[in-house]
Chain A
Amino acid sequence: MIADDDEKWLADDIAAVKQNAFYMQRAIDSNNLKDALKFSAQMLSELRTSKLSPHKYYELYMRVFNELGTLEIFFKEETGRGCSIAELYELVQHAGNILPRLYLLCTIGSVYIKSKDVTTTDILKDLVEMCRAVQHPLRGLFLRSYLAQVTRDKLPSIGSELAGDGDAQMNALEFVLQNFTEMNKLWVRMQHQGSSREKEKREKERNELRDLVGKNLHVLSQLEGVDLGIYRDTVLPRILEQVVNCKDELAQCYLMDCIIQVFPDDFHLQTLDVLLGACPQLQPSVDIKTVLSGLMERLSNYAASSVEALPNFLQVEAFSKFNYAIGKVVEAQVDLPAAGSVTLYLFLLNFTLHVYSDRLDYVDQVLGSCVTQLAATGKLCDDKAAKQIVAFLSAPLEKYNNVVTILKLTNYPRVMEYLDHETNKAMTIIIVQSVLKNNTHIATADEVDALFELAKGLIKDFDGTIDNEIDEEDFQEEQNFVARLVHKLYSDDPEEMSKIIFTVRKHILTGGPKRLPLTIPPLVFSALKLIRRLRGGDENPFGDDASATPKRILQLLSETVEALSDVSAPDLALRLYLQCAQAANDCELETVTYEFFTKAYLLYEEEISDSKAQVTALRLIIGTLQRMRIFNVENRDILTHKATGYSARLLRKPDQCRAVYECAHLFWTDECEKLKDGERVVLCLKRAQRIADTVQKMTNASRGTSSTGSVALYVELLNKYLYFLEKGNTEVTGDTIKSLAELIRSETKKVESGAESFINSTLRYIEFQRQQDGGMSEKYEKIKMEWFE
Chain B
Amino acid sequence: MVLVLALGDLHVPHRAADLPPKFKSMLVPGKIQHIICTGNLCIKEIHDYLKTICPDLHIVRGEFDEDARYPENKTLTIGQFKLGLCHGHQVIPWGDLDSLAMLQRQLGVDILVTGHTHQFTAYKHEGGVVINPGSATGAYSSINQDVNPSFVLMDIDGFRAVVYVYELIDGEVKVDKIEFKKPPTSNSAP
Contact = CB atoms under 8 A, between A and B. Distances in A.
Interface of A: 436, 439, 473, 476-477, 480, 483-488, 521-522, 525, 528-529, 532, 575, 579, 582-583, 586, 616, 619-620, 622-623, 626-627, 662, 665, 712, 715-716, 719-720, 723, 726, 757-758, 760-762, 764-765, 768-769
B140 A723 contact: no
Contacts of A579: 142
Contacts of B127: 761, 765
A760 B189 CA distance: 12
A708 to B, nearest CB: 12
Interface residues of B, number: 36
Contacts of A764: 126, 187-189
Contacts of B43: 476, 480
A555 to B, nearest CB: 18
Interface string B1-43: 0000000000111111110010000000000000000000001
Contacts of B21: 439
Contacts of A762: 105
B105 A726 contact: no
A521 B16 CA distance: 11
B98 A522 contact: no
Interface of B: 11-18, 21, 43-45, 63-64, 89-90, 92-94, 98-99, 101-102, 105-106, 108, 126-127, 139-140, 142-143, 145, 187-189
Contact of B98 (A480, A529, A726, A760): A726
A716 B14 contact: no
Contacts of A626: 92-94
A488 B17 contact: yes
B108 A761 contact: yes
A765 B43 CA distance: 39
B45 to A, nearest CB: 7
A225 to B, nearest CB: 57
Given A487-B13, A582-B142, A761 B105 contact: yes
Contact of B99 (A473, A723, A760): A723
| Overall SS of chain A's interface | helix
Given A521-B14, A525-B140, A665-B93, A480 B45 contact: yes
B182 to A, nearest CB: 15
A441 B16 CA distance: 14
A579 B98 CA distance: 24
Contact of B18 (A484, A575, A627, A665): A484
A488 B98 CA distance: 39
B18 A528 contact: no
Nearest to A482: B13
B61 to A, nearest CB: 9
A571 B18 CA distance: 24
B63 A522 contact: no
B89 A620 contact: yes
Given A529-B140, A665-B93, A575 B64 contact: yes
B17 A484 contact: yes
A263 B148 CA distance: 60
B100 to A, nearest CB: 11
A207 B92 CA distance: 83
Closest 6 CB pairs of A and B: A483-B13, A582-B142, A761-B105, A521-B14, A484-B17, A487-B17
B94 A623 contact: yes
Contact of B126 (A484, A715, A769): A769
Nearest to B13: A483
Q: Which of A436, A579, A712 has the most CB of B within 10 A?
A: A579
Nearest to A759: B105
Nearest to A583: B142
Given A623-B93, A626-B92, A662-B92, A436 B105 contact: no
Contacts of B17: 436, 484-485, 487-488
A477 B63 contact: no
A475 to B, nearest CB: 13
A438 B25 CA distance: 15
A477 B45 contact: yes
A476 B44 CA distance: 10
A716 B107 CA distance: 12
B89 A723 contact: no
Contacts of B12: 484
Given A665-B92, A761-B127, A723 B102 contact: yes
Contacts of B108: 757-758, 761
A616 B63 CA distance: 8
A122 to B, nearest CB: 74
B106 A716 contact: yes
B140 A768 contact: no
24 contacts: A436-B17, A439-B21, A480-B13, A484-B12, A487-B16, A522-B13, A522-B15, A525-B14, A529-B140, A582-B142, A582-B143, A583-B142, A619-B90, A620-B89, A623-B93, A626-B92, A627-B93, A627-B143, A715-B106, A716-B102, A716-B106, A719-B102, A761-B127, A765-B105
B93 A723 contact: no
Contacts of A716: 102, 106
A619 B16 contact: no
A484 B15 CA distance: 8
A765 B92 CA distance: 20
B181 to A, nearest CB: 18
Q: Which of B17, B44, B108 has the most CB of A within 10 A?
A: B17
Contacts of A761: 105, 108, 127
Contacts of B106: 712, 715-716, 719, 758
B35 to A, nearest CB: 21
Contacts of A662: 92
A719 B105 contact: yes
A627 B94 contact: yes
Contacts of B139: 525
Contacts of A619: 89-90, 92
Contacts of B105: 719, 758, 761-762, 765
Given A484-B17, A522-B13, A575-B64, A765 B89 contact: no
B150 to A, nearest CB: 18
